[in-house]
Structure 1
Amino acid sequence: MGSDNRAPVTVVGLGSMGSALANAFLDKGHPTTVWNRSPEKAEALVAKGAVLAATPAEAIAASELVVVCVLDYRAMREIIDSLGEAPAGRVIVNLTSGTPDEARQAATWAAERGVGYVDGAIMATPPMIGSEHALIFYGGPKALYDANAEALASIAGAGTYLGEDAGLPSLYDVALLGLMWTTWAGFMHSLALVGSEQVKAEAFLPFAQAWFEHVVNPEIPRIAAQVDQGTYPDGGSALGMQAVAVEHLVDASRAQKVDAALPEFLLERAEQAIKQGHAGDGFASVYEVLRKARG
């Protein structure tokens, strides 16, 4: 693919993810400049057509769009600060993992230096980068995002702009990871329960999959609607009744000598919601407990 009409891009940071980003830009025909503290990590990219910059200043001078993917936000700031006066017209798209507060602080830091700044969060593994299955969230000034959206589409078919708040991408990132980890943890607790009686995970799996498909997943849109409306109809199964079932889960876990911390967490929050007057509401009313920090 010719690169004459493709915007030049600089990629700073060539770990596994940064290298995948640079590869994707090259594959889509973007003239790509790269820089990494350990230059040997650029060898395969240079062989493919990338230009290895000798310094961060040289890398950032090469392109108006600078994609940064380094260890942490401090490393990103140190690299940019090392330049002194940043070249005019540069836009940093920071795809370094961090927290919403770090992203907002970085946006303020960039604004103080007159540097255009968009923060992002990658919801993909390195092999997915450049495919339609890669999802990257972006937050920051819309004009900056719009001006670079075409180039950024090279690294993720599902680039999603969330708004002016630079912290939202990181917030979506940790929220989705939390959903993944807690779902996995709940499944593993179930496997530990049946495994305590020598039931193989493979034997239990079809029932877990059917339960997710026909019972768990269909409730997700209804829970989301209830949370937005602030009302939690019981749907024929009030929280007071469900708390009794969760108590049985706690008792069974203890009896089977399985770690009961997860169901104990659920029971404690359900009981707290009941004390707040939600005994007759649906299970989604536990949200009213989870949305507030304890104490």
Structure 2
Amino acid sequence: MTNVTVLGAGPMGRALARALLRHDHHTTVWNRTAGRAAALAADHARLADTAEEAVAASRLVLPCVIDHAALRDIITPVAATLRGRTLVNLTTGTPAEAREIAEWAARHGIDYLDGVIMTPAGTIGGPGAVILYSGPEHLYQAHLPTLRALGGTALHLGDEAGRAAGYDVALLDLFWTAMSGLVHAFALARAEGITATELAPHARGISDLLPAIIDDFAGRLDDDRFDGDVSDLRSAVAGMINVLRSAQAHRLDTGILEAALTTARRPVEAGYGADSFARLARTVAVHGE
């Protein structure tokens, strides 16, 4: 059993605390809005009145708050109390923010790991949870027996503090652009008199294509091989134009489609029209390669 502090009692913070409590870790919880943490008392969590009291209660401190601005507001005043302790930051942010907090922690004698939670709060403590970590491996290994209580898959991705957040933003880039495409597809189908239920099985068919495409593109990108042996950018642009025109005819918002078409056209205009769609990963910068 380990003494652990969770800073933040939103849905994810409460899930983290409950997972730790189920594994009999002595868990202290603090939240800026005290009422949010109150329900955890029934699970035998210790509720701290202040952030400093919460930090002082444990050698291992897990902050999980809304953003890095909130994180800085909480940990900056208690830097002296955090000295000599381990901060495992589970607050979602950018790689640059992770590096910034890591540098701040080093200046104050605080051990630091950055973590990103890749699955919803309901998975925490169960086999479906996925949490990625980066920072000194010896810290990860030292605290892994406790971190395992959070469930599922725990992966250490390297010593560089921003690496886990780098995975996070890249994967969320894929997720949110896919989600945007999905809702737009449903809107376009509805405009054509096709119900969402009618479209759904065919939409799943599109998603079934993605695993093979992901592996194919990964190999091409790592090998710098962009031959359009299956399909090329010119044909992709032609197909995207058809979708755009159809959406415009129904007066749908086409901002995402226009942005995608602009991104695809740029390498075609630069002479890469016969290349694979994977080429876009090298040309997405605003000014191209």
TM-score (norm 1): 0.90
* 3-state SS of paired residue (1:132): coil
Q: Which residue of 2 aligns with 1:3?
A: none
Q: Does residue 275 of the first structure (1) align with residue 269 of the second (2)? A: yes
Distance in 1 (CA, whole Å) between partners of 2:93 and 2:79 is 24
Distance in 1 (CA, whole Å) between partners of 2:126 and 2:70 is 28
**1:169 aligned to 164, 174, 177, which one?**
164
Q: Which residue of 2 aligns with 1:23?
A: 18
- RMSD (Å) for aligned C-alpha atoms: 1.9
Q: Does residue 185 of the first structure (1) align with residue 185 of the second (2)? A: no
Q: C-alpha deviations, 1:110-141, integer Å up to 9, x for none?
A: 10000111111111222211111111111111
Q: 1:230 to 1:67 in 2, by over 3 A?
A: same
Q: C-alpha deviations, 1:11-30, integer Å up to 9, x for none?
A: 12212211111111000111
Letter in 2 for 1:294: H
Letter in 2 for 1:130: G
Q: Which residue of 2 aligns with 1:246?
A: 240
Q: Does residue 105 of the first structure (1) align with residue 105 of the second (2)? A: no
Shift of 1:95: 0.9
Distance in 2 (CA, whole Å) between partners of 1:42 and 1:256 is 48
Q: C-alpha deviations, 1:135-177, integer Å up to 9, x for none?
A: 1111111111111011011113211211112222222222222
Please list every run of 5 or more consecutive structure 1 residues that lacks an aligned counterpart in the other structure: 1-5
Judge conservation of contact 1:273–1:288 (CA < 8 Å) in 2: no
Letter in 1 for 2:212: P
Q: 1:25 to 1:280 in 2, by over 3 A?
A: same
Q: Does residue 128 of the first structure (1) align with residue 123 of the second (2)? A: yes
* 3-state SS of paired residue (1:199): coil
Judge conservation of contact 2:83–2:108 (CA < 8 Å) in 1: no
Q: Which residue of 2 aligns with 1:209?
A: 204
Judge conservation of contact 1:80–1:86 (CA < 8 Å) in 2: no
Please list every run of 5 or more consecutive structure 2 residues that lacks an aligned counterpart in the other structure: none
* 3-state SS of paired residue (1:118): strand
Q: Does residue 140 of the first structure (1) align with residue 114 of the second (2)? A: no
Distance in 2 (CA, whole Å) between partners of 1:74 and 1:262 is 29
Q: Which residue of 2 aligns with 1:286?
A: 280
Percent identity, please: 39
Q: Does residue 47 of the first structure (1) align with residue 76 of the second (2)? A: no
